[in-house]
């Protein structure tokens, strides 16, 4: 069984992370089995980046049975969000959890989990928006927050995961560990994730390598962005391996804010944090970073621009905007000192939650005018903002109701700034979350 993490959230939080303890499944007779136990407190998955997508965490073997209930323990929940007041942007981090040790989370199973066959997946979905409560002004004396983590756990078969047209893709970002080539020529590598876990990933002759010449060019310590598929035997196969910066010592992903293009200075709220300067733990709030004329601006390697768009999907120092999700690499991002200079800045896909205002057709696309909440990172200093979402026949439609005006949906894809507007090329649509 492969355990995959996902989340269901609106755009209010910029990160949500906690320490996971033990996940247990129990059958109707009361017999329990432990899926994983990470009671050291060192497993710290972050869930906003996995909103509407799947993130692999661990592979385990458990007895075949029908399990009717589950328990999951946690500790040290933490979340960040931004607020805007009088022209200033504030990075707010909140925790309201005074218990010691691990506590039980709220867990629901939409249906019993049947473990059978050679392989399957277990999707642990963090229901972020109903897990966090915020009230009052973060800059005032009336502010309060609370965290009651809520999870939904469901099964997926390997065939469902293999069918890319019907299932959510699996993506992971991590640091490459051990590499191994078998006498048969098969190759694999370990991907160490920012959550503290490690996944063994195989590759084959069809694996697409970007930033390196192939498997033989990989080395331990490189950061990689990996698209995965689940094979019939339950192992994970890399379909795409991208190394954005072969010499980097640090990598961070998250939304950008406070951009000064002339000075090349901006803030980034970390979601996934990897490298030598993040070994002491997760850093909340905004990191101050700097790009120069030598910084390479990049597009996520899994993106292919479709034809017929009314704008050019470009990303550089002139069209980076607050709220875009990026990955940065650097030789060092220390805790203190002058702005660290980054080596690469890669635009990543992201999930945006919003209300459809109108739907039109244009040049083979369905175009959704999506109204964003005022707290949305893409709405920084703009108040309510409209995102033009382009959908074509390649977009995965995971929504249970038709995408029409007045309904809230989550759109996943690449967000660009062009012609004074915000545009998304969507690769997936999911049901939305109340704003």
The pLDDT assigned to 328 comes to 97
Distances 97 to 79, 80, 125, 136, 146 between C-alpha atoms, Å = 12, 15, 21, 18, 7
Q: Is the pLDDT of residue 27 over 60?
A: yes
End position of a domain, from candidates 145, 162, 179: 162
State whether 122 and 157 are in the same domain: yes
State whether 77 and 197 are in the same domain: no
* Token pair 């019993």: residue: 112
Give the CATH number for residue 221.
2.40.50.140
Q: Is the pLDDT of residue 97 over 60?
A: no
- Assign 164 a pLDDT band (cuts: 50, 70, 90): very low
* Token pair 């069984």: residue: 1
Domain that holds residue 390: 350-431
State whether 49 and 130 are in the same domain: yes
Q: φ and ψ at 381, to 5 degrees? A: 60, 15
pLDDT, tens digit, 9 for 90 and up, residues 264-306: 999 999 999 999 998 877 787 789 999 999 999 999 999 999 9
End position of a domain, from candidates 298, 325, 347: 347
State whether 405 and 425 are in the same domain: yes
State whether 9 and 154 are in the same domain: yes
Distances 256 to 149, 281, 379 between C-alpha atoms, Å = 26, 21, 12
Q: Which residues contact 86 (CB under 8 A, 6 or more apart)?
A: none
For residues 290 and 101, the model is more confident at 290
For residues 153 and 140, the model is more confident at 153
Spatial CA neighbour of 211 closest among 91, 302, 321, 314? 302
Give the CATH number for residue 280.
2.40.50.320
Burial 132-142 (b: 16+ CB within 10 A, else e): bebeeebeeee
State whether 16 and 154 are in the same domain: yes
The pLDDT assigned to 347 comes to 98
Dihedral in degrees, nearest 10, Cα atoms 145, 151, 152, 154: 150
Q: What share of the chain is helix, strand, coil (3-state, %, to 5)?
A: 5, 55, 45
State whether 157 and 270 are in the same domain: no
Q: Is the pLDDT of residue 413 over 80?
A: yes
State whether 115 and 202 are in the same domain: no
Rounded distance between C-alpha atoms, residue 62 and residue 45, angstroms: 22
The pLDDT assigned to 62 comes to 93
State whether 217 and 156 are in the same domain: no
Lowest mean pLDDT among 3-7, 105-109, 294-298, 381-385: 381-385
pLDDT, tens digit, 9 for 90 and up, residues 344-353: 999 999 999 9
Query: pTM value?
Result: 0.94
Q: φ and ψ at 159, to 5 degrees? A: -65, -35
End position of a domain, from candidates 119, 136, 162: 162
pLDDT, tens digit, 9 for 90 and up, residues 231-269: 888 889 999 999 999 999 999 999 999 999 999 999 999
Rounded distance between C-alpha atoms, residue 355 and residue 308, angstroms: 25
pLDDT, tens digit, 9 for 90 and up, residues 44-67: 899 999 999 999 998 899 999 999
The pLDDT assigned to 381 comes to 59
What total of structural domains would you count in the chain? Answer: 4
Q: Is the pLDDT of residue 165 over 50?
A: no
State whether 13 and 143 are in the same domain: yes
The pLDDT assigned to 196 comes to 87
Rounded distance between C-alpha atoms, residue 148 and residue 132, angstroms: 6
The pLDDT assigned to 319 comes to 93
State whether 181 and 277 are in the same domain: no
State whether 213 and 341 are in the same domain: no
Rounded distance between C-alpha atoms, residue 41 and residue 420, angstroms: 45
For residue 245, the SS3 value is: coil
The pLDDT assigned to 185 comes to 73
């Amino acid at each position: 069984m492969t355990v995959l993490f996902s989340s269901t959230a609106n755009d209010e939080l910029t990160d949500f992370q906690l320490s996971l303890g033990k996940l247990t499944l129990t059958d109707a007779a009361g017999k329990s089995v432990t899926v994983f136990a990470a009671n050291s407190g060192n497993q710290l998955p972050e869930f906003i980046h996995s909103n509407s997508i799947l993130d692999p965490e661990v592979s385990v073997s458990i007895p075949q049975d029908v399990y009717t209930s589950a328990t999951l323990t946690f500790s040290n929940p933490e979340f960040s969000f931004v607020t805007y007041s009088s022209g200033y942007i504030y990075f707010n981090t909140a925790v309201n959890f005074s218990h010691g040790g691990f506590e039980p989370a709220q867990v629901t199973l939409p249906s019993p989990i049947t473990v059978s066959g050679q392989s399957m997946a277990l999707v642990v979905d963090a229901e972020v928006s109903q897990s966090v409560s915020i009230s009052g002004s973060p800059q005032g004396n009336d502010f309060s927050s609370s965290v009651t983590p809520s999870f939904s756990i469901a099964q997926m078969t390997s065939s469902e995961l293999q069918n890319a047209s019907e299932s959510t893709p699996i993506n992971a970002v991590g640091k490459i560990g051990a590499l191994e080539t078998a006498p048969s020529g098969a190759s694999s590598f370990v991907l160490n994730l920012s959550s503290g876990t490690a996944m063994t990933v195989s590759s084959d002759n069809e694996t697409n390598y970007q930033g390196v010449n192939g498997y033989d060019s990989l080395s331990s310590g490189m950061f990689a962005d990996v698209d995965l598929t689940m094979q019939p035997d339950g192992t994970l196969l890399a379909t795409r391996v991208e190394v954005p910066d072969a010499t980097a010592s640090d990598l961070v992903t998250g939304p950008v804010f406070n951009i000064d293009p002339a000075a090349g200075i901006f803030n980034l709220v970390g979601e996934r944090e990897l490298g030598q300067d993040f070994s002491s733990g997760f850093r909340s709030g905004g990191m101050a970073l700097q790009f120069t004329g030598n910084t390479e601006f990049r597009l996520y390697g899994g993106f292919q621009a479709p034809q017929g768009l009314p704008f050019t999907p470009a990303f550089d120092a002139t069209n980076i905007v607050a709220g875009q999700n990026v990955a940065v690499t650097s030789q060092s991002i220390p805790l203190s000192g002058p702005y660290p200079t980054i080596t690469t800045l890669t635009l990543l896909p992201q999930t945006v939650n919003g209300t459809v205002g109108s739907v039109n057709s244009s040049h083979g696309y369905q175009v959704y005018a999506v109204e964003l909440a005022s707290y949305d990172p893409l709405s920084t200093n703009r108040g309510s903002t409209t995102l033009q979402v382009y959908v074509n026949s390649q977009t995965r439609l995971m929504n249970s109701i038709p995408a029409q005006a007045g309904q809230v949906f989550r759109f996943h894809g690449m967000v660009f700034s062009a012609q004074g507007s915000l545009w998304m090329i969507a690769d997936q649509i999911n049901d939305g979350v109340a704003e």
